[in-house]
Structures are given as structure tokens and as C-alpha cells.
Amino acid sequence: MAGLIGLFAWSPWKDATQVEWLGTYRAWSDDIDASLQGGLVPLRTDCESTFDDDVGEPPQEQLQPVAAAARRGCAALSPVEWRNGKADVVRALIDAHDDLLPPRRHRDVSDIAGSSVGVRPDVYCWQSAGWAPFSEQFAIVRGGEEASLKGIADRARNRIDLDPGVCAALRRYLRRMRPTSLSYENFQIAEALTVLTHQAEHLKAPSASEAEVECFAVQHVRPLVRAAWGAEYATELALQAWELSYQQLPQAFRSSACRNGGRLDRNPRSSTWP
């Protein structure tokens, strides 16, 4: 019976109200952000009452933990605590979605993060039917803050959640299934390695900026591909990651220090880039 109620509550025609509610949460959260950035710390009671008035109860029970996490963020309003509170909201959103279609943990994908970045997170691969609604809602809650919505890192849980397409490409990489030349699958492997190592770099250096993390990620493509298929193909995919992924990012996610010999060059003595 509980399962039936769950499915009923998640039927697509209910989504509009979930999206609307998350939109009001985002607007409220942005207002608190703006206050804190302006050096004005709202009173807990004001924070809670604006939440109750402007956001209020979610349209469905599944989002209740998200609402609770958001309101809890009012309890200790320093910039650091507020940032932690926003991470709690994303965590609650992940949990709300992964209950229905549980993503699977992949240790071999975690090994890629281990060999390149040096962290060993739990990596979860989502199914399309679960990731699509989740990533849509994640975009509302945290849109514009992440270089790509194809992966998310949670430092408190040492966990990375990945888009199913990214996982499919990583599986081909792990099985050494090299795509035919000139196919889009080549870029997909380069992109998937960038998404995974980007999130792993977040876990390794929590205070690093998006631009720093993305610059390190794009430099992981070459050694990872070289280990699987040799130097020539590694150069090809590293250039694809650079030209088709990195250079297409908005300015905020790039850095002028991300260049051969720049401050973010992982191998400053080598003239190879990226």
C-alpha cells in the first residue's frame, strides 16, 4: 500500500506543483544569500517566518524532508552554517528521489576517482527515470552553481551521484570498449571522465572554486585515457574535453590560470596541455 501511495504521489501530473514549490524555495534562499553577502544576518525568527509565509508546506509528502532541511537552515545563520544548510537541502532532495528508483553503487567507478584524484567516494549511478526528474529539480534548487548537472558531490557522505549517460560512458571506458573514430561516443568518454573527476576534486578540495575544480578535471582526461588506450588517443580525447567541454563553459566556470604553465597547470614542467 505504501508503495502504491508513493507511485501515485509521484505521477507526472503532480510535477508542476513540485517545481513551483521548489522555485519559491529558491527565491527565498536567494534572498537569504543576498542578506548574508551584504553582511546582514537575518534573525532566526524572521528567517523562519519568511519561510513559512513565502515557501510553506511542500505540495507532496516526498518533499517534506526538503522543507524541513530548508527551515532548519534558519537555526544558525552564519555564512558557513547557511552553506551547510543548503547542502542539507540538496541531500534531502537526493534522498527523496533515490527512494523510488534506488541508484546503484559502482566500486569500479570509484576506482577511477581513486587512481586519478586520490579520493575513494561511494559513486552512485542513477537510472534515467530517476535522474531526469531529480536533475530538473536540482537545477531549480541549485541551478547556476555547478558547472554541469551531470554529477553531484556530497562531502559529508563522501558520495558522488552520476547521470546515467555519464555512467554508461564510464562503463565503456572500464571495459576498454574504444568507440569508432569520429563518433560522438569519443566525446562522451572524455566528458564522463571530466564529470567524475570534477566531482572527485570537489571532495578532495572542498573550498576550491568551480573554475579550479573544472580546470583540474579537464587535465585528468589525458592520463586516464593513456592508461587505457595509449598516448595518441589520449591526446585526441584531451583536446576534445578542452575544446568541446571546457571552452564552451560560461566564463564563471573558467579561469585565465587554466593554461599551459598557468597556476592551475597540474604539470607545470610539461608543455603538454591540457
The binding site for Zn ion (CB under 5 A) comprises 146-147, 210
Helix or strand holding residue 68 (H, E): helix 64-72
Instruction: Quote the least distance from Cβ 236 to Zn ion, whole Å.
Output: 25
Question: Listing from the earlier edge strand, what are the strands of the sheet with 104-105?
Answer: 104-105, 122-125, 159-162, 151-154
Instruction: Quote the least distance from Cβ 14 to Zn ion, whole Å.
Output: 30
Instruction: Quote the least distance from Cβ 118 to Zn ion, whole Å.
Output: 17
The three-class DSSP label of residue 226 is helix
Residue 169 or 213 having the CB closest to Zn ion: 213
Instruction: Quote the least distance from Cβ 190 to Zn ion, whole Å.
Output: 17
Residue 67 or 153 having the CB closest to Zn ion: 153
Residue 213 or 224 having the CB closest to Zn ion: 213
Residue 77 or 119 having the CB closest to Zn ion: 119
Distance from C-alpha of 207 to C-alpha of 264, rounded to nearest angstrom: 15
Residues in contact with 118: Cβ distance below 8 Å, sequence separation at least 6, in sequence order: 204
Distance from C-alpha of 207 to C-alpha of 182, rounded to nearest angstrom: 38
| CB neighbours of residue 33 within 10 Å | 14
Instruction: Quote the least distance from Cβ 213 to Zn ion, whole Å.
Output: 5
Residue 35 or 135 having the CB closest to Zn ion: 135
Residue 210 or 265 having the CB closest to Zn ion: 210
Angle of CA points 137, 138, 143, to nearest 5°: 110
Residue 13, C-alpha cell as written in the block: 501530473
Instruction: Quote the least distance from Cβ 262 to Zn ion, whole Å.
Output: 19
Task: Report yes or no: 113 and 119 within 8 Å, Cβ to Cβ.
Answer: yes
